[in-house]
Amino acid sequence: MTKIFAHRGSKGTHPENTLVAFREAVRVGSDGIELDVQLSKDGQLVVIHDESIDRTTDGEGLVGEMTVKELKAYDAGSSFSSEYADEKIPTFIEVLNLLTEVGFTGTLNIELKTDQNDYPGIEEKLVDLIQKKQLNFELIYSSFNPLTLERLEKIDPVTKKAWIMVGDKFTILFSKYLTLIDSIHPSFEWLCKSETKIINYSKYIRPWTVNDECEMMKCFDYSVEAFHTDYPARAIQVRNKFLE
């Protein structure tokens, strides 16, 4: 059955990419969790979507130009709701520790945000950290940047890799990287346009970001391997309805 991946944690109900959002994603029973990683100025993996902290915190500036201590000074919850004013930008290790503590046994989709800022060395840092941990959950590496997938393949050929499709094109320029990947993460819009071709390849496809009930139903109908949603609790209800 199609799995449900909580996009940036439970982004629709909690502040994205924060510990409270990941905790919620596990609480509601998400099969997978997606998060975005970048590198701080002092070379630590941090979990945040944008290259700047402006949209999701009360601060300003580029992630790559701030240390973890500086990043942690800001409130990463209030832009969602004042109820979450204590949330901070988490480090990647903090998220791994939380998922271990709450007994998560699903799939963690780690998106390396190297499409705007290449963050030299981010792939090595990530693999090094993961290999030191004993994790009870499966990992997938994903990126919009095929060079990141290529670097990951060299240092960790075992972990699954997914290419996040740019826009709605499976560009010919990507063909030289095809052997690196196990699956693709396209937009839901692309999935719909390609409807006639999907069925035979559905187990290699995890679209984003599917929040509407009709769109979720379509994903279950297509039997895609998983889809990313900001509302995992809603998606689980819709899946139950689909299965009735």
Residues 195-234 contacting ligand G3P, CB under 6 A: 208, 228
Distance CA 43, CA 20 (A): 24
Query: Which residue in 40, 56, 142, 145 binds ligand G3P (CB under 6 A)?
Result: 142
Provide φ and ψ at 84, rounded to 5°.
-110, 30
DSSP strands (E only) in the chain: 3-7, 32-39, 45-47, 107-112, 138-143, 160-164, 183-185, 226-229
CB of 109 to ligand G3P, least distance (A): 6
Residues 81-100 contacting ligand G3P, CB under 6 A: none
111 belongs to the binding site for Mg ion (CB under 5 A)? yes
Residues 169-198 contacting ligand G3P, CB under 6 A: 185
Q: Which is nearer to Mg ion, 166 or 199 (CB)?
A: 166
Helix and strand totals (H; E) in the chain: 9, 8
CB of 10 to ligand G3P, least distance (A): 14
Instruction: Give burial (CB, 10 Å; 0-12/13-18/19+) of 199.
Output: exposed
Distance CA 90, CA 154 (A): 28
Provide φ and ψ at 82, rounded to 5°.
-60, -20
Query: Which residue in 24, 31, 34, 153 binds ligand G3P (CB under 6 A)?
Result: 34
Active site residues: 7, 49
Which residue(s) pair with 46 in the sheet?
38, 91
Query: Which residue in 24, 31, 36, 225 binds ligand G3P (CB under 6 A)?
Result: 36
Query: For the window 19-58, what string marks contact with Mg ion as x by the rule CB under 5 A?
Result: -----------------x----------------------
Give me the residues that bind Mg ion (CB under 5 A), please: 36, 111
